[in-house]
Amino acid sequence: MAIRISIITPSFEQVQYLEECLRSVHDQAYPAVEHIVVDGGSTDGSRQVIERHAHELAWWCSEADRGQSHALNKGLAHATGEVFGWINSDDLLLPGSLERVGAAFAEDPNLVVLTCVRRLRHPDGREEPMAMDDADDPERLFTAPRINQQCTFFRMDAVRAVEGLEERLHCVMDYELWLQVLLRFGTAGVRVVPWELAVFRAHAASKTARMRAAFLDEQASVLHRMCLSVGLDAYARVLALGHDITPSLRPLPVDSAQHERVRDMVVAFLLKWHHTIFSRSDHRMMRALREERLDLGTLSTEQQEQLARLDQQLRARSWLAFRLRRKLHHLFG
């Protein structure tokens, strides 16, 4: 008997993509898919599209909600599958994807998370495969995860155990769920397989395109919460200098034994996104990082290069001096 897979589609005001998304799920040659659509009360014709497909859905609604995470949790309340994945209304599954997913979970009772390859579809229709996680370096699943959300599937028991999605997050709820599951269940049950299973659509109205700063603020908020849990208060203060921290996030299962892992996660985040200074808050945060003389752990070659570039910029000790130096560099090279 095929393992039951619950696919949840959160939707809001994306009628131009919704039909293709729904068909990509309904056209799967897989006998045990349960598709749930949670629309946030769209007024662009999305409801009418959903109604045309209602006979193929296990449950659906179109009503105001508190955002994508709330929509996903509403869908989870109606889900009965053994495996959970979600596909946003502007993305789609590739043919035969669920057959592969179902077989993988059925064949391996120890499989907790399956993550694969997604294709990036550009506005002009071009597609290319995106990078996947590094299966040979489990620690990078914490410090540098890809979170290929459209083609990542979880054992439903694990999702229930962590109580679904964090509703205070609107951009990085997939990252937080990934950490909740991996920190609780470990990385032994994670499988990274080079199957192309889904399409991530790039377009100007997407949340990814419109809300880059919010994505970084929310990721910093998750890390800030973890820092406070393991006694990395100085790192928490540094993050708060450069980011709008979301308060009262639920705790992640970390303690002082994971002190170094959390430190490495924060360092990786700061150097990846802030080794080049663009704003006053960047300057304030990264100057505090260096002036605190915090233990940065063992840095990779790439991180050492990022740190060197950062230190070069921080030779200008004030934001005004930094801006003046940057302007002179642009004028005279």
Q: How far is CA 214 from the centre of its chain?
A: 12
Grade residue 135 by pLDDT with cuts at 50, 70 and 90: confident
- Mean pLDDT across 299-303: 97
pLDDT of residue 212: 84
Class of domain 5-208: alpha beta
Is 212 or 295 the better-scoring residue by pLDDT? 295
Question: pTM of the predicted model, to two decimals?
Answer: 0.95
How high is the pLDDT of residue 1? 83
For 113-120, what is the mean pLDDT? Answer: 97
Is the pLDDT at 206 greater than 80, yes or no?
A: no
Q: What is the pLDDT of residues 247-270, one digit of tens each?
A: 999 999 999 999 999 999 999 999
Average pLDDT over residues 177-196: 97
Q: Residue 48 has what pLDDT?
A: 97
Tell me what pLDDT residue 329 has.
67
Q: What is the pLDDT of residue 331?
A: 64
Domain chopping of the chain, boundaries: 5-208, 211-332
At residue 328, the pLDDT reads 67
pLDDT by residue (tens digit) across 25-42? 999 989 999 999 999 999
Q: Once rounded to an integer, what is the mean pLDDT over residues 283-311? A: 96
Q: Which of 84-93, 281-290, 309-318 has the lowest mean pLDDT?
A: 309-318
- pLDDT value at 184 more than 80: yes
Average pLDDT over the chain, rounded to an integer: 95
